[in-house]
């Protein structure tokens, strides 16, 4: 947020925030627009063509990309950008549809593994082209290769795991 009057960009105090410069505001408003608008635009074709939310697709997709099509729920929540409780509810619905099975991690019983079934894998394979088309159209095609590399670097800098916030 910028200040209500022209900011003194010389520095804030404990009581007065350091207001954003015009360049900082442009960067921030651009980012927040992407964060708020892009997920819905990516989700629309998935909903229409596959009956999946973006979160559901990301969860299934991330499991499908592992060698054995199985992943710890905590890691999956991070990769799909959702809370463990939200993921648990989604995976419960996946279990009811026969797309995923859950079981204790044999290496550490404190964790739960989500494993994609053959039916779940078929859902990912069928919906992936829809998702990839939307990603290309809305994100990648408008960018140059240099823009894409810059976007990847920026995203890596801004993305944090829950343990990083503790």
Q: pLDDT tens, 42-80? A: 999 999 999 999 999 999 999 999 989 999 999 999 999
Please give the model's pTM, rounded to 2 decimal places. Answer: 0.82
Tokens of 150: 């810059």
Q: Which residue(s) pair with 112 in the sheet?
A: 104
What are the helix (H) ranges across the chain?
22-50, 54-64, 73-79, 84-97, 118-135, 145-158, 162-165
Query: What are the structural domain ranges in the chain?
Result: 42-127
HSE of 158, CA atoms in CB hemisphere, 13 A: 10
Q: pLDDT tens, 111-121? A: 999 999 999 99
The CATH number that domain 42-127 falls under is 1.10.10.10
Closest CA to 75 of 122, 49, 111, 39: 111
């Amino acid at each position: 947020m910028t200040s209500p009057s022209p900011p003194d960009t010389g520095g804030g105090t404990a009581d007065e925030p350091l207001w954003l410069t015009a360049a900082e505001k442009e960067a921030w408003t651009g980012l927040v627009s992407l964060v708020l608008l892009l997920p819905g635009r990516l989700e629309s074709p998935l909903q229409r063509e596959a009956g999946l939310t973006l979160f559901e697709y990301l969860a299934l997709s991330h499991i499908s990309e592992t060698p054995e099509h199985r992943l710890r729920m905590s890691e999956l929540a991070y990769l799909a950008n959702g809370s463990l409780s939200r993921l648990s509810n989604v995976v419960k619905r996946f279990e009811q549809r026969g797309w995923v099975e859950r079981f204790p991690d044999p290496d550490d019983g404190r964790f739960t593994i989500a494993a994609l079934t053959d039916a779940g894998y078929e859902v990912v394979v069928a919906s992936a082209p829809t998702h990839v088309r939307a990603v290309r159209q809305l994100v990648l095609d408008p960018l140059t290769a240099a823009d894409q590399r810059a976007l990847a670097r920026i995203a890596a800098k801004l993305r944090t795991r829950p343990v990083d916030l503790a």
